[in-house]
Amino acid sequence: MKISTKGRYALRALTHLAVSFDKNGNKPVSIKEISQKEKISNRYLENIFVKLRKAGIVASVKGEKGGFMLLKGPLETNILEIITAVENDVSPSRCVVDLKSCERTGRCGIRKIWVKLDRHINEFMSKTSLAEATEMHNNSGK
């Protein structure tokens, strides 16, 4: 399993919205601000935020003081929601999600390991809130 740059950047970017949600009463944060703080391209972030908006994780606010804001609180948003919004597939093996990807799928005991691993990973990500990720991100340099 590999989380792409898109997934990693999405999580990092949303930590800024989580801080704004908690400290500023959920005021919008601009992509420019996030881009500067996280050193991520504006254009790349725009593409990520389009997917996050379509998934119902963020809302966009137009105007001079516009930007993006969380639709749910950081405690109610989990990292599985975030990652699956921007990634095509995060399973440990293609056969977990596409039975037709391998001719051995029906008789392969190893697939059961990948399915079990996939369940554990998804369970971990669904139990890890954006609030927890934000705390870890913000305390990483201390």
Annotate 9-27 with three-state secondary structure.
HHHHHHHHHHHHHHHCCCC
Q: Tens digit of pLDDT for each residue in 90-129? A: 887 777 776 677 777 677 788 888 889 989 999 999 999 9
**Using 50, 70 and 90 to split pLDDT, how confident is the model at 36?**
very high
Q: Which residue, chain included where needed, has tokens 């959920």?
A: 26
The domains of the chain, with CATH numbers, are: 5-90+130-138 (1.10.10.10)
Task: Kindly report the pTM of this predicted structure.
Answer: 0.86
Separation between Cα atoms, residue 84 and residue 102, nearest integer Å: 23
C-alpha distance from residue 111 to each of 17, 98, 108, 123 (Å): 38, 11, 6, 18
